[in-house]
Structure 1
Amino acid sequence: MIEIRRPFLFAVASLLILSAPPTEATAQVSTSDVDAIFAAFSGPNTPGCTVAVSEAGRPVLGRAYGMADLEHDVPNKLETVLEPGSVAKQFTAAATILLALDGKISLSDDIRKYIPEVPDYGEPITIRHLLNHTSGLRDWGSVAGIEGWPRTTRVHTHTHMLDIVSRQKSLNYEPGEFYSYTNTGYNLQAVLVERVSGMSFAEFSRTRVFEPLGMMKTEWRDDYNRIVKDRAVAYSPTREGSFRQNMPFENVHGNGGLLTTVGDLLKFTHNLQTGALWGPEFLKEMHTQGVLNSGRQIAYASGLNVGKYKGVREVQHSGGTAGYRGFLTRFPDQDLAVAVMCNAGNANPGRFARQVADLYLGEAIVTDEPAAPTVEAVEVSGADLERFTGAYILTRNQQRRAFSVVDGALRLGGAALVPIAQNRFAFEEAVFEFDVESGEQRPSAVFTTPDGDVFQMEPVEDFDPSTDDLAEFTGEYSSPEAEVTYSFKVREGSLARVDRYGRAIPVRPSGPDAFVGAGGTWVFHSEGGRVTSVSLVSGRVWDLRFERVR
């Protein structure tokens, strides 16, 4: 923490006077231990963080570190307004659920009932799908990036968002089939609230959420030009070791865009603990975890991740927008909450918040739950390991993964996998199982994630195209969904994607007719012996089709 020698500039650590002793569920905490967690962000030449802790709704700690404005030597303080990124989603979910409790909507309604700009994909996309990230809708910001206008490079608005959504001819997947994080669902909820309530989303939130909870320093960034008292400037680090401004110059909100303080965040999350303001039905809907069509329950509820941390029940969400970072976590059984926000893009508020929580949880993290069974490694011959090497494709989203053998161990990228059977390999709690009974020299595989999600993986052949082979993929390809045309050309013996400004980015082969680079995986398609189109898989956008136009 900053040494306090010039109070006006550097007295950046503020300690709330404890209004009540800690509950028996938590430990006594030294502020010096908290300060040590934030040491890297507590100097006079760095942006920093604010942190607040509450027990049973009572504030027990508040600290501020680093600078809110490096140009004007303004320190962070507890009242500093920052953005917690996607932590905002729980506030949007709250507004949506309040409309449902008012009887004005049903969470099982098709979103097209209120927002007909969303295309008809055959199967209804419900409001609950939007809440749980199971809609299949592509992330509009990812599509905007493919267009050449990534987030914060232009003043994106909800009009832009709806325009992009209306152009999408397909979904990533059938609604309810998978969980896939997408900001689109939460921007659509903001529009939904406006259309149903007849109020702006900002006004509805102010009158129904912020003011009733006493969150007097909280508002939506629906106009990025508006002057906001006590707002910190957001920064990102440079390669030279200094910082540059990185502000969110956009007006989209609901997915993020919440201007708030750590103290106000704790007021909201305490109401999610008690339900004092909106009652048990509100709490139930906020904490109801999504269920996929398969019947599998996911961790994501309504703007909240529900799970465990070191054996302790936890409800949390992280976030980041431009150079802002945030994390809000609550431990229901201990009635403990921690909020951290930072104006440094290289800060990790999730790690900081949980390190602070560790200090308060104390013995609560020693759980009586049985330890995970110890899995002993088995010996697999080198010849058998070689069967599993090479490139594989995840059939769900066309992403590529490559296995190799290094020093007698099967590796995925740089991570060594532990053999737990002749055809099963573990990495932490994830498992890869190869179908050796198929008799194929290179068998298919199933990848099971720690939360039970299952991905089918199919082997693909090595692809080492000649310059003549690469020439088959050259040409111009256009996507009406992204309103952009890209060229592919052979440059210095490699295929390169060329954008509208003439910038060439090499792509490298990853399998037959597939290349990786320039923002994702590009899979070319042929008809009648001629390449006619290419599909892009890029993060939150699966299978965006570009047709060959030249």
Structure 2
Amino acid sequence: MQQVDERIDAWIRGVATPGMAYVHFDGTKVIIERYAGLADIPTQRPVDARTSFHGFSVTKTLTSLVVVQLAQAGRVDLDAPVRAYLPTMPYAGDISVRHLLTHTGGLPNPLPLEWVHSPADDGSFDSDGFFAAVFSKHAKVRSAPGERFAYSNLGYVLLGQLIERVTGSSFKDVIRHAVLRPAGITERELGFTWPADNMHATGYLRAPSFSPSCCRSSSTPDATWACARAVGAASSPSY
């Protein structure tokens, strides 16, 4: 416990991060719960159990979970070419759904993606148009499918589009229906909407801005358990 506290304090003092929440748990209980630093520098608002954070790429777990659920339901063949589901996919070659799931499709990973926009603008944001331009600009693969591991955000963008194409529903609605609700997860614990209580942590970067992930999560132990439930306990819904 002391080593954890010392490490967290060192991170904060070294300006590695303005603030953080740390919750460690095993299969039965929360072992360590710590909050430190600031959620917002100008207002000096501290990080506490009410603070929520962007999910970032941890939410790729939810995307992959839904794809596997669709495979179990016979709606998706993991070894089929992605083009079977997305005929206009910009990348040539035999890139399979499994390749995208495992980051072995050879797709590029341009950073920053720069698709950050305010929650108020989300309804009018043209996600399809934005990513069509990104794919057009970065249309060259880095390696042959299955040749090597190469992390790619664009691969998971395609998986999100595949989910929408196969289900006929929006990505957000599918995640809510297939993962969050079956696991008993509330929108406050893990969700797409901005928290009304203004307790979301402000993001700070030393580098140019890049995209937060699709979801936002609270830092409470209950929310931490919720994230675990989403992956470990979500049953296959009826698609």
Structure-2-length-normalised TM-score:
0.78
Equivalent residues in 2 for 1:464-503, closer than 5 Å: none
1:198 to 143, 168, 192: 168
Who is 1:97 aligned against?
68
Who is 1:399 aligned against?
none
Q: Which one has the bigger helix percentage?
A: 2
Q: State yes or no: 1:235 paired with 2:204.
A: yes
Equivalent residues in 2 for 1:180-329, closer than 5 Å: 180-216=150-186, 217-220=189-192, 229=197, 230-236=199-205, 256-262=213-219, 263=221, 264-269=223-228, 272=231, 275-278=232-235
Q: Measure, in 2, the Cα distance between the counterparts of 1:157 and 1:178.
A: 29
Q: State yes or no: 1:76 paired with 2:47.
A: yes
Counterpart of 1:133, as a letter, is: H
Q: What is the deviation of 1:228? A: 5.4
Unpaired runs of 5+ in structure 2?
118-125
Superimposed CA distance per residue, residues 333-388 of structure 1 (whole angstroms, 9 cap, x where no aligned partner): xxxxxxxxxxxxxxxxxxxxxxxxxxxxxxxxxxxxxxxxxxxxxxxxxxxxxxxx
2:113 to 151, 173, 182: 151
Describe the shift of the 1:101–1:42 C-alpha distance in structure 2 as closer, same or farther (beyond 3 A).
same
Q: Measure, in 1, the Cα distance between the counterparts of 2:137 and 2:88.
A: 9
Q: What is the deviation of 1:130? A: 0.3
The number of aligned residues is 221
Q: What is the SS of the residue equivalent to 1:60? A: strand
Q: What is the SS of the residue equivalent to 2:22? A: strand
Describe the shift of the 1:233–1:271 C-alpha distance in structure 2 as closer, same or farther (beyond 3 A).
closer
Describe the shift of the 1:72–1:103 C-alpha distance in structure 2 as closer, same or farther (beyond 3 A).
same
Counterpart of 1:135, as a letter, is: G
Q: Which one has the bigger strand percentage?
A: 1
Structure number with higher relative contact order (C-alpha < 8 Å, ≥ 6 residues apart):
2
Who is 1:65 aligned against?
36
Who is 1:135 aligned against?
105
Q: Measure, in 1, the Cα distance between the counterparts of 2:26 and 2:19.
A: 24
Describe the shift of the 1:170–1:235 C-alpha distance in structure 2 as closer, same or farther (beyond 3 A).
closer
Describe the shift of the 1:228–1:187 C-alpha distance in structure 2 as closer, same or farther (beyond 3 A).
farther
Who is 1:457 aligned against?
none
Q: Measure, in 1, the Cα distance between the counterparts of 2:35 and 2:45.
A: 12
Q: What is the SS of the residue equivalent to 1:52? A: strand
Who is 2:6 aligned against?
36
Superimposed CA distance per residue, residues 239-267 of structure 1 (whole angstroms, 9 cap, x where no aligned partner): xxxxxxx865x5xx7xx333113443443
Q: Measure, in 2, the Cα distance between the counterparts of 1:154 and 1:80.
A: 20
Q: What is the deviation of 1:127? A: 0.6
The list of structure 1 runs, each at least 4 consecutive aligned residues, that deviate by more than 6 angstroms after superposition, is none
Q: What is the SS of the residue equivalent to 1:236? A: coil
Q: What is the SS of the residue equivalent to 1:89? A: helix
CA contact (8 A) 1:56 1:270 kept: no
CA contact (8 A) 2:70 2:76 kept: yes
Equivalent residues in 2 for 1:452-531, closer than 5 Å: none
- Identical columns (%): 26
Superimposed CA distance per residue, residues 147-186 of structure 1 (whole angstroms, 9 cap, x where no aligned partner): xxx4337658343223332565542222112211111111
Q: Measure, in 2, the Cα distance between the counterparts of 1:160 and 1:54.
A: 39
Unpaired runs of 5+ in structure 1?
1-29, 143-149, 239-245, 280-550
Q: What is the SS of the residue equivalent to 2:52? A: coil
CA contact (8 A) 1:117 1:165 kept: no
Q: What is the SS of the residue equivalent to 1:235? A: coil
Counterpart of 1:234, as a letter, is: G
Structure-1-length-normalised TM-score:
0.36
Rg larger in structure: 1
Counterpart of 1:211, as a letter, is: R
Q: What is the deviation of 1:128? A: 0.4
Counterpart of 2:191, as a letter, is: E
Q: Measure, in 2, the Cα distance between the counterparts of 1:154 and 1:51.
A: 25
Q: Measure, in 2, the Cα distance between the counterparts of 1:247 and 1:233.
A: 13
